Chain A
Amino acid sequence: SQTIHQWPATLVQPVGSPLSLECTVEGTSNPNLYWYRQAAGRGLQLLFYSVGIGQISSEVPQNLSASRPQDRQFILSSKKLLLSDSGFYLCAWSAYFRGQPQHFGDGTRLSIL
């Protein structure tokens, strides 16, 4: 069966510090991968998605970036965090075929001080 791992579960970072969140998927090949952010009490905002190694589509201009160095690994990064980067970050995967369901990780709660 397929599983998705996302870590850490919580993170507290000072303003201006770098960020690296990692997500890995097991049990499937060539998945579509996604990063979302959710502000408190709000819906999910799609940040990045990837259909293959090295292929990243950005949905929202910001100081975040994403990379996919391996087929089942997706990394969200920032060189300098802003207060507005606080939120609940979720990684998800879906099968390559169009229209297939997404499956989410447990999320990372990021607080910027």
Chain B
Amino acid sequence: DAKTTQPNSMESNEEEPVHLPCNHSTISGTDYIHWYRQLPSQGPEYVIHGLTSNVNNRMASLAIAEDRKSSTLILHRATLRDAAVYYCILVTGNQFYFGTGTSLTVIP
């Protein structure tokens, strides 16, 4: 029961910033916004999460719209190792529902 909408695929040039969008128009006030990424044949890896304010960590930045109905994951300088499927999910209580994500291709 995915509650988020993401583009199926995106491309980026190496060493350039990447903005991965996510729409979650039915978000409730207590839903957290999480981002994960998955390489082939591996489990997903946590990237970042937030509730209302923008967040930064060593991997990425998360920009959350003021109405919380959309968010953007920002990779500041894409590398070849960032090529993966990126999932944006809403976390309601203890439940995590993954959609199909965005497949990011990084072009050398």
Q: Evaluate contact between A34 and B96: CB separation under 8 angstroms.
A: yes
Closest-by-CB residue of B relative to A49 is B94
Q: Is the interface of B mostly helix, strand, loop or mixed?
A: loop
Map CB proximity to A onto B60-94 as digits: 1 under 8 Å, 0 otherwise. Answer: 00000000000000000000000000010001011
Closest-by-CB residue of B relative to A102 is B96
Stretch of A64-72, A78-86, A93-101 at the chain-chain interface:
A93-101
Q: Evaluate contact between A49 and B95: CB separation under 8 angstroms.
A: yes
**Contact count A vs B, C-beta below 8 Å:** 57
**B43, B44, B100 pick with most chain A CB within 10 angstroms:** B43
Q: Is the interface of A mostly helix, strand, loop or mixed?
A: strand
The tally of residues in A whose CB lies under 8 Å from a CB in B reads 24
Q: Evaluate contact between A104 and B32: CB separation under 8 angstroms.
A: no
Provide the bound-state CA to CA distance between A33 and B70, in Å.
Answer: 28
Interface: B99 (CB within 8 A): yes
Asked, given contacts A98-B94, A99-B32, A101-B34, whether A109 binds B41 with beta carbons under 8 Å apart, the answer is yes
Q: Evaluate contact between A102 and B46: CB separation under 8 angstroms.
A: yes
- For residue B42, which residues in chain A have a CB less than 8 angstroms away from its CB? 106-107
Interface: B16 (CB within 8 A): no
